[in-house]
Structure 1
Amino acid sequence: MENEICTISIGGGWLDDDYTFYEDGRIKRFYDQSSFSYNNTEWITAQNISDSKKQKIIENCPEDKKQIIIQILNS
């Protein structure tokens, strides 16, 4: 397994929506779908992320990781 770059949280209120990015381009999403469906995990690609969520991810990204995260999101 490749090394983790960082985890970025874009959740609102009390629902989690976290994205963990890996050096090999993989993305793991950890999220709460609703108050009845917590702690869901799925492996996704950049194509599965809406443009509005991509923008939130970039806005919440640590400055030193921003370039690599943008590259992954644009792949």
Structure 2
Amino acid sequence: MLFLAKGKEPGTVCLAVYPNATDWVIGCGGGGAEFGVGGPSGGYIVRPDGAPAPELHREVATNVFARG
């Protein structure tokens, strides 16, 4: 499961990757810049609205891209 949410600080967005109760990871970014989150279930990139898919990635949710 993927969860994209507003972060605690203004303008911050966080992505939680939750494949199971032991292998979850979370990452946050802000200022409209892309950021990545990686762990046992793979790597993900979050991009701002309107940004194209990163090379070698596919869109898995709005603004969230997975490698491969």
Superposed pair shares fold, TM > 0.5: no
- Which has a greater percent of helix? 1
Scaled to the shorter chain, the TM-score interval is 0.3 to 0.5
In the superposition, the TM-score normalised over structure 1's length comes to: 0.35
- Ranked by relative contact order (alpha carbons within 8 Å, sequence separation 6 or more), the top structure is 1
> What is the TM-score when the length of structure 2 is the normalising length?
0.37
Larger Rg: 1
